[in-house]
Amino acid sequence: MKQIYLSILSAIMLACSINLHAQDIMLHDIKAKKQKVSIGIKGGFNSAMMFTDKLSYGEQEITDIQNNYKVGYIATVFTRINLKKQHFIQPEISYAISQGSISMSNLRENATILEDNALIKTKMSSLEIPVLYGYKFIDSYPYGMSFFLGPKIAWTIKKQSSSEYSGFYQKNITENIRPLNYSAVLGIGVNISNIFFDFRYEIGCNNITQSVSYDKELTAEPYNEKELTLKRRKNILSFSVGAIF
């Protein structure tokens, strides 16, 4: 009889425990639904792809251009404004360091333009403000998954940004990067409780190079007679981890 009582008591305690756990989940769901504004932080890595539309000396275009990817870093704070149902708006502010390079072989087609195999290495630091619209197509505590997209504006920090040119006939080449650049962002976010993982791709919408100049007095003739032109866009693939409160 004692064993029967203990079995019944154990069953009651287990049922109570399951009920309390279910109530806890419901409370979390209710709290999440009532919370209109959330604040979050995140940090991660990025890979910048410098897609070159045009690189030329005068009318002569350089061919066989290859993109080389390097790892950069990003830190972000953001606010999520929950709208009706599973929609949200998420403005962000980020500090980002992106790095990349483009290389060119000194082939027969490029021999009259390039002195050697050429390389342009670029490092850009920027303050970035994306404004994203998102939709949570999985929203069942503690799990969630959302899709988001939106525009981004980036202000280049000039003192922390630079480009290094090598392999060209032109000497002391200087590139001026545009102070403001624009891109379109799309990605997916996955969260477990208040921890989330963010995967996104950014498509550059403008030429990041404002102008290219070089020292014509130090450059031997006839390589000091025409202008260097560079048109390229910066696309970025990034991954970050963060928390939302």
pLDDT in tens, 93-142: 999 999 999 999 988 788 888 999 999 999 999 999 999 999 999 988 88
For position 25, what pLDDT does the model report? 52
pLDDT in tens, 40-77: 999 999 999 988 999 999 999 998 899 888 899 999 99
8 A C-beta contact, residue 242 and residue 76? yes
Q: Average per-residue pLDDT in the chain?
A: 87
Determine the 3-state secondary structure of 8 from DSSP: helix
- Amino acid making up residue 77: V
Element (H, E) at 35: none
- Position 24 pLDDT exceeds 60: no
8 A C-beta contact, residue 188 and residue 210? no
Tally of CB atoms within 10 A around 118: 21
**What is the share, in percent, of the chain residues with pLDDT greater than 70?**
86
**Residues 217-235 as b or e (16 or more Cβ within 10 Å = b):** eebeeebeeeebebebbbb
Pair of tokens at residue 244: 């939302």
- The DSSP secondary structure of 98-137, one letter per residue, reads EEEEEEE---TTTTTTEEEEEEEEEEEEEEEEEEEEEEEE
**What is the share, in percent, of the chain residues with pLDDT greater than 90?**
70
From 229, 38, 67, 46, select the one nearest 154 (Cα to Cα): 46
- Position 4 pLDDT exceeds 50: no
Record the pTM: 0.83
For position 193, what pLDDT does the model report? 87
